[in-house]
Structure 1
């Protein structure tokens, strides 16, 4: 069972999905550039064992293929992103499993306090040429707690080194940590907070997931692992923190202290955080650093698709959207997909088995009204049940042959946006428009177009003779026969 980052790295290596870089690599741009080129080639996860000026390794490219995400979730490595997300949905619709308090957490093997606190002891990369500095927090999550209910939130927010004991934290307005920070501000108190780097990778996946308020991501991770997450109660902040983390930066965020940070090459493929043009950000004042012996720094390149962040957002947002539609009791959902090419958030695709007139349009509207789809999503494509939501070839075919712009497109003027959307002017990113593209043949049409299908009997014969054609020993027909023949001929 995978319980920490080291287990995951070992699992990747066993599956031939890890490459160890032993030559010296500079943390200043070079490390990111090597990783990004590797990711563009669908290369393996990388463990940099010789980072210039440091003896701490850096791990990147953890999730850039569906296979590596499946390894993380301990699922069948042949599953597509959509089917892997369905597994996530099925596990998280069962009983949530709360964390378990343990003693002697491994992350407390080293405790650094006082003047010795210095985040530059870690090889935080400088990623892109116009970044504002080194970012220690990309594969990171912030642990905070609701002062009234005790709800613990894990949220992924980028973190730039602003001093030896301070990191900027980009907590976007409306995020759960923002809710909590406002509560502490009203109480006239600082907010206890801890940045976690390196952990059971499922915790990082959950921290970047759109989970409903008052739901602990520890519980979601427990349901995915089917086992409680081992945590300990901090004697400094009172927070529940992961026992097997590699590094924890622990301290407080003062709601009254805001600092400029950035720019940073974001997951949209554009820089954000331009000083003087965007809002100042909260900052984590670090009172102590906890780390395991021989720690590993986990990082991700961010930038243009496709990298870890886009794959993570595609996986968990697809899963939570599927969960939303299930719990909204929208009938007929066959498959769901939020593509990593859309930065893992801006477009959603749903395959639906229509049962009544207007059904496919109901699905599109349900998506943008859901917990997952209401924030930042710009467009929804609905397709009939004979097309998988992640089959781009057939989706484009449906948009070409089952779609009429006047009948099938619906624009919604106002929806919640993200301040990181470069498609909107920087001074007006609170609200975005949305579009629903209904690429389904209308249910109520009596005279539907006559679609081409193959003969099932002949296809069966072709499958049996596949090797005779010299096209390989294994016939692909079995996986295609239902899609290529008439449904009523099954």
Structure 2
């Protein structure tokens, strides 16, 4: 049966406003306002036909990523109960087909124009860590849409909810792919908001990735060290900017909620949980609250991950999560992401966030002649491309080995550089947001055996498939590299070549003549 869809419809029944919260209804702070913005931008497809959460909803989302197509809002997933738990919204930060608005969804969540360029987004995000923190503001339950409905104890049953099965060989149903964990240290001084996957493993039980050096794992260890389960919450459909900030490589003991407020210019309104002392955004769609066990563990995985592979035999023991209460607004929406072969949020969104932080570290903190840093989504966060300022590079009076080693040490030692094992350094003539130009530079300017600088004395990221399933002795150690895609003379003198293409090989008047006569020649593109 074909899906019945609406792409230009009144979303009155789908995206309801909440009058007391209208003052904070912007796409940066309000999930519902974000959906309205997508509709206005012609980037939302509303599906009213019943869809099956067992693989079908995920397959719809994956096809939307890969075309790419509009973000799907699924109003009628099979199993959605009378209390409204829950509708499903896929591809929340997916790419757009229109190249001029390729990163329009992320730009909208940041308060930027939908046609913001990658450079504009990266430079905007690079400034966020230097903003003055703007802590969340506590509000009353009466001003909190997420308190409109409540479930406790035996009334919580994940088997009766349309929890999606994302990939055919996944070890379970992953309910947590685009929500945000909330955890606070025992002394109350640090509250961490973070994103990490979790799957259902019982009536009110979940198990998710909680492993060092994650910040949530650091806090979990603090609670375990004093012999207590960790009070915990997860919010779904909170401030859209929170999903960006929660994925930023901020340092430990920095509270992400403070920087959502700093980024948006307004404090996030938060409300206290029902069963513990965590605070969650008052406008959230859904909140789970409970504990993460200090001692009990369960099998998690396997799951199709962001590198585009899934190895079916893989599962690991991680701490058990118990959900003691669920609060949610009327007719709530559960956002979800389906990781896999690019593009999806787990590669291009994280790539942008890591790029912005490394741009800040290299350019602003270490004062190196760097114009831009970019992680091409096509490389699944395995590449970090660094664009140098050629004049600044020459003024350093350095050598390729010295410069590449310096850049590599800085990137690989940073939190943002943990997952990126390969750094490519190019000149300012290369548009590093264009994968074709990066491949051209890498293929034609890098000399094998001379332009490669390998780092075997530093940690690597074991989720990288070539580490976990490659010919290496330790899956978490060594085998990172910097590839110099600069000609040796670029360290001493300006570039001395012309590019042999339409824009480089012909005078401007010839280009203009060809363009103005293009349709007369008979071309339609």
| TM-score, normalised relative to structure 2 | 0.83
Deviation at residue 181 of structure 1 after TM alignment = 1.2
The reply to whether residue 50 of structure 1 matches residue 94 of structure 2 is no
| Residue range with higher mean Cα deviation, 224-233 or 398-407 | 398-407
Deviation at residue 394 of structure 1 after TM alignment = 2.5
The reply to whether residue 383 of structure 1 matches residue 426 of structure 2 is yes
Aligned residues: 468
Match for residue 183 of structure 1? Answer: 222
Give, in whole Å, the separation in 2 of the partners of 1:235 and 1:22.
33
Match for residue 429 of structure 1? Answer: 475
| Residue range with higher mean Cα deviation, 238-247 or 93-102 | 93-102
Give, in whole Å, the separation in 2 of the partners of 1:447 and 1:36.
47
The reply to whether residue 470 of structure 1 matches residue 518 of structure 2 is yes
Deviation at residue 321 of structure 1 after TM alignment = 1.7
Of 268, 291, 294, the match for 1:255 = 294
Give, in whole Å, the separation in 2 of the partners of 1:33 and 1:233.
36
Q: Is the 8 A contact 2:462 2:468 kept in 1?
A: no
Match for residue 485 of structure 2? Answer: 439
Match for residue 23 of structure 1? Answer: 49
Match for residue 116 of structure 2? Answer: 79
The reply to whether residue 336 of structure 1 matches residue 384 of structure 2 is no
| TM-score, normalised relative to structure 1 | 0.89
Deviation at residue 441 of structure 1 after TM alignment = 2.5
After superposition, the Cα gap between the structure-2 partners of 1:409 and 1:293, relative to the gap in structure 1 and judged at 3 Å, is: same
Match for residue 441 of structure 2? Answer: 398
Listed one character per residue, the Cα deviations across residues 292-344 of structure 1 (whole Å, up to 9, x for unaligned) are: 1111111111122111222221221112222222443232111110122222x
Give, in whole Å, the separation in 1 of the partners of 2:279 and 2:220.
17
Deviation at residue 27 of structure 1 after TM alignment = 0.6
Deviation at residue 120 of structure 1 after TM alignment = 3.6
SS at match of 1:350: strand
The reply to whether residue 160 of structure 1 matches residue 199 of structure 2 is yes
Q: Is the 8 A contact 2:461 2:467 kept in 1?
A: no
Q: Is the 8 A contact 1:158 1:169 kept in 2?
A: yes
Q: How does 1:211-360 map to 2 (within 5 A)?
A: 211-271=250-310, 274=313, 278-343=315-380, 345-353=381-389, 354=393, 355-356=395-396, 357-358=398-399, 360=403
Q: Is the 8 A contact 1:352 1:360 kept in 2?
A: no
Give, in whole Å, the separation in 2 of the partners of 1:324 and 1:371.
11
Deviation at residue 402 of structure 1 after TM alignment = 2.7
Give, in whole Å, the separation in 2 of the partners of 1:445 and 1:286.
58
Match for residue 479 of structure 1? Answer: none
Q: How does 1:446-485 map to 2 (within 5 A)?
A: 450-452=496-498, 459-462=507-510, 465=513, 468-470=516-518
Match for residue 133 of structure 2? Answer: 96
Deviation at residue 432 of structure 1 after TM alignment = 3.7
Match for residue 414 of structure 2? Answer: 370
Runs of 4+, deviation exceeding 4 Å: 443-449, 453-456, 462-467
Match for residue 17 of structure 2? Answer: none
After superposition, the Cα gap between the structure-2 partners of 1:283 and 1:346, relative to the gap in structure 1 and judged at 3 Å, is: same
Listed one character per residue, the Cα deviations across residues 366-406 of structure 1 (whole Å, up to 9, x for unaligned) are: 22222211x12210001112223223232223223332223
Of 455, 460, 463, the match for 1:417 = 460
After superposition, the Cα gap between the structure-2 partners of 1:435 and 1:11, relative to the gap in structure 1 and judged at 3 Å, is: same
Match for residue 450 of structure 2? Answer: 407
Give, in whole Å, the separation in 1 of the partners of 2:519 and 2:409.
45
Q: Is the 8 A contact 2:173 2:200 kept in 1?
A: yes
Q: Is the 8 A contact 2:363 2:369 kept in 1?
A: no
Give, in whole Å, the separation in 1 of the partners of 2:414 and 2:270.
31
SS at match of 1:284: strand
SS at match of 2:488: coil
Give, in whole Å, the separation in 2 of the partners of 1:364 and 1:170.
28
Q: CA RMSD in A?
A: 2.5
Q: Is the 8 A contact 1:441 1:448 kept in 2?
A: no
SS at match of 1:372: helix
Give, in whole Å, the separation in 1 of the partners of 2:283 and 2:335.
14
Give, in whole Å, the separation in 1 of the partners of 2:492 and 2:479.
34
